[in-house]
Structure 1
Amino acid sequence: MKRTTPLLTLLTGTGMAAVLFAMSAQAAPRTVDTGAAAPATSPPGAAVVSPAAPAAEPDADPAAEPEATPAAPAPGQPGAAETTPPTTAPPAKQADSNWTGRLDGGATIAITVTDGKAVAYVCDGKKLEVWLNGTAADGRMKLTGKKGEVLTGSFGDGVASGEMVVGQRRWKFTAKQTGKPDPVLYRATAQQRRAGVDGGWIMLPDGSQIGVVTRDGAPVPAPPLDPAFGTTILDGRTVTASPVVADPGSGA
């Protein structure tokens, strides 16, 4: 009986120690590992796959529909741009007429226009004569001569007026429109001019005429011209002339 007592005492102490250990373990706080789990070790030879990069966010919502461009309104509908048709300048109003008159210096002038082409002849019936060529349209005319002579003016309501400039000299002129279709201006033909004879004749409304004939460079008063035949006699020789319509030949 005495031998059993120590054994019981030992067992009792051991049991008490076990109970105390269990109570101590329950009372101790648990430690939680917050770190990421260690990556698994890849087997030898396995390819290492890098994690995919996150996709970039688009600037706009891909689900949003694109903004629609408004269609242009059809011509004639409200809001449609008005299209102005291109404007073209009206054609020049050409003159087809004849004028006869005088310069303030005493010389006589005749102007004839056909299809906008103008011819003028100025002479004093003695030795002065000037041929000019140009245009006449929209109430304005401008003609020039071989030696730099310039005639400018306007016309309308049956009257033409303006100025002729020869060198440093200037003369005003006024001419009235003739009411007849008959030619008011004649000139020696090209054949006559090649023979050394040139000349011009102005037929005035009262039936008279005035002109100058230049023979071998010397101007003389023109003898009367027969318009029906276009001829005259100068020093026993026949001189032929023709009506000036739009081009007086080589004289301008």
Structure 2
Amino acid sequence: MKRMTPLLTLVTGAGMAAVLFAMSAQAAPTAAPPKVDAAPPASAADAPPAPSGSQPPELSPGASAPPAAAPGATDVPAAGTPEQKVDASWTGRLNNGATIAITSRDGAAEAYVCDGKDMELWLRGTATDGKLDLDGKDATLTGTFDGSEATGKLTIGGDTTTFTAKATAGTAPVVYRATPQLRDAGVDGGWILRPDGTQIGVLTWNGRPIPAPPLDPAFGTTIVEGLTVTARPVIPAPEPGR
């Protein structure tokens, strides 16, 4: 029996070690699953390339991207926007009692002012974008117009008067003037054909202004002291430099 004692002690120790190992394994906490880090938010650099045809142009080295448009910003019309030009005519009166006629073709404009006795005035300029801007000898005319009328002011020397002129129907001429050949010979004259069929004008004859005799629009002629005077419709043309 004494010889078996060490063996029993060894077996007993091994059994106790096995029991303690099993108890230790049961008491140990279950290992936590491995932690997975959340993916970082996507950045512009990580974004997939844009489809062909929509990728913004590359910037040259050293260049910076253009600033973004401010909220609420509106587009500014590009330089060189075509002017709104009109083909129209207006006839009316000034506050001083004189008669005025304005005619425009493709934005170029001419105006004739007369009192039917001895005062007359010619002006040239433009009628674009709803605005009138004409000038003559010591005179300027400015104003506005639309499809129904033209209004504004006429300044002669230091005196200013206002006018209102109604748009005429159709494209029939409303202003006639003596031909350049007659003007070169010292004979000048202007006629305004009113919408009611009446006329008014001034004719310069032998160096003095007189009331213009009635003009026949069909032929553009009138008779003065037995001589035929020829006139033509006033059709404005752009002046050089305008």
- Whether contact under 8 Å (2:105, 2:237) holds in the other structure is no
- 2:192 aligned with 1:202: yes
Provide Cα deviations, 1:220-241, integer angstroms capped at 9, x if missing partner.
0000000000000011111000
Match of 1:121 in 2: 112
Q: Which runs of 5+ in 1 are unaligned?
A: 1-69
Bigger CA radius of gyration: 1
- What TM-score does the superposition give when structure 1 sets the normalisation length? 0.65
Q: Which amino acid aligns with 1:158?
A: S
- Whether contact under 8 Å (2:108, 2:238) holds in the other structure is no
Question: Within 2, Cα distance between the matches of 1:111 and 1:81?
Answer: 49
Match of 1:46 in 2: none
Structure 1 residue 110: deviation in Å? 0.3
Structure 1 residue 82: deviation in Å? 7.3
Secondary structure of the corresponding residue to residue 246 of structure 1:
coil
Question: Within 2, Cα distance between the matches of 1:102 and 1:194?
Answer: 30
Over the residues paired in the alignment, what is the CA RMSD in angstroms? Answer: 2.7
2:142 aligned residue (149, 152, 168): 152
Provide Cα deviations, 1:144-187, integer angstroms capped at 9, x if missing partner.
00x22000000014110000000111110000000121100000
Provide Cα deviations, 1:104-157, integer angstroms capped at 9, x if missing partner.
000000000001000000000000000000001000011000x22000000014
Say if 1:247 and 1:195 are closer, same or farther in 2 by CA, change over 3 A.
Answer: farther
Secondary structure of the corresponding residue to residue 193 of structure 1:
helix
Question: Within 1, Cα distance between the matches of 2:225 and 2:195?
Answer: 28
Q: Which runs of 5+ in 2 are unaligned?
A: 1-44, 59-64, 70-74
Question: Within 2, Cα distance between the matches of 1:248 and 1:127?
Answer: 29
Structure 1 residue 215: deviation in Å? 1.4
- 2:181 aligned with 1:191: yes
- 1:33-112 aligned at under 5 Å gives the runs 74-75=55-56, 81=66, 87-112=78-103
Structure 1 residue 89: deviation in Å? 4.3
- What TM-score does the superposition give when structure 2 sets the normalisation length? 0.67
- 2:170 aligned with 1:170: no
Say if 1:203 and 1:130 are closer, same or farther in 2 by CA, change over 3 A.
Answer: same
Structure 1 residue 248: deviation in Å? 11
Identity percentage over the alignment?
55
Secondary structure of the corresponding residue to residue 183 of structure 2:
helix
